[in-house]
Structure 1
Amino acid sequence: MSDDLAERRIQRVRDHMALEMEYDWDAVIATFDGHPRYEMATGQLFDGEESVRGYFAGSRSVFPDQGNEIIEIAHAGNTVLVEFWLTGTHLGEIRVGDRAIPPTGRKLKARMAATFEFAPGSDLILCERPYFDQLGMLRSIGIEL
């Protein structure tokens, strides 16, 4: 694989993450190969544009100022690996099972990782897979289950 393709993929992921912070959902969708897909550590799957846009709306209603700060980024095979801080303020209701948890107003800063999968030879994203400690995130904003 060429160094140029690896660099383009890394830049695509950097752009993708920056566009998420700008809430430019059309541009985020355009970073995918035509079929956006998020596979969450919780087992949730957001497959296709309508589902992914629903994920964006839901997550930003909980953390309307959601952001990310890249710590490390690397390319391996057909994958870009990213370690980052997820940031935001808990200003919307969180649903955990049947329980509705009101906003705490507390700041979130949680260390996460994500893989971005690419088809061979392509610099368009096939799938993002974020990995995180859900209970640790809830505790950090003052929620104990």
Structure 2
Amino acid sequence: MLDHEVTDGMIDAFNAHDFEKAAGFFSPCGVYVCPGGIAEGREQIASYFALYLEGFPDITLTPTSKGVCGDLTVMEWTVTSTHGGPFLLPDGEVAGPTGRHVVVRGCDFRTMDDDGLIASQRVYYDQLEMLSQLGVERITR
């Protein structure tokens, strides 16, 4: 599969909230790493994506730029959504729905396997920016 087919297919599936299909663009042993944790394998990755939907039922990911160098793909994106459900905070507490609209910028780095599927995806975004938009006043560690 070509990189742009993987990128476009995964984004389309994610935005349609078809997380099993989105996880199908990962290698069977693929790894997804983000500030909230690590998911390994398609089943865990699909479950992890579903957690986003629980807290943000209208979540949409919009790519803003992309670069490819060998088996590494870098993509900048914006996520928009309304906080409509429970969301796990970094300190282990759960933020109940606030109804606030959030716009979060981030990027991810992906490596591809020999079959053209995602071997690993590492996601980075400004957690403080997101938590501020949600109205979370303090974060303890």
Task: Pick from 10, 32, 41 the counterpart of residue 38 of structure 1.
Answer: 32
Counting only pairs closer than 5 Å after superposition, residues 1-145 of structure 1 correspond to structure 2 as 8-42=2-36, 44-96=37-89, 97-119=91-113, 121-145=114-138
Aligned-pair Cα RMSD in Å: 1.7
Does the Cα contact within 8 Å between 1:116 and 1:127 map onto a contact in 2? yes
Deviation at 1:12, TM superposition (A): 1.0
For residues 22 and 142 of structure 1, the distance between their equivalents in structure 2, rounded to whole angstroms, comes to 27
SS class of match (1:34): strand
C-alpha distance after superposition, 1:68-114 (max 9, x if no partner): 11110110121111001011110111222242221110111111101
Does the Cα contact within 8 Å between 2:111 and 2:121 map onto a contact in 1? yes
SS class of match (2:29): coil
For residues 94 and 24 of structure 1, the distance between their equivalents in structure 2, rounded to whole angstroms, comes to 20
Does the Cα contact within 8 Å between 1:10 and 1:75 map onto a contact in 2? no
**In proportion to residue count, which structure has more strand?**
2
Q: Please, what TM-score do these two structures have when normalized by structure 1?
A: 0.85
Gaps of 5+ in 2: none
Which portions of structure 1, spanning 4 or more consecutive aligned residues, are displaced by more than 3 angstroms?
none
Gaps of 5+ in 1: none
Between stretches 122-131 and 29-38, larger displacement belongs to 29-38
Aligned sequence identity (%): 24
For residues 111 and 84 of structure 2, the distance between their equivalents in structure 1, rounded to whole angstroms, comes to 32
For residues 19 and 61 of structure 2, the distance between their equivalents in structure 1, rounded to whole angstroms, comes to 16
Q: 1:98 to 1:73 in 2, by over 3 A?
A: closer
Q: Please, what TM-score do these two structures have when normalized by structure 2?
A: 0.87
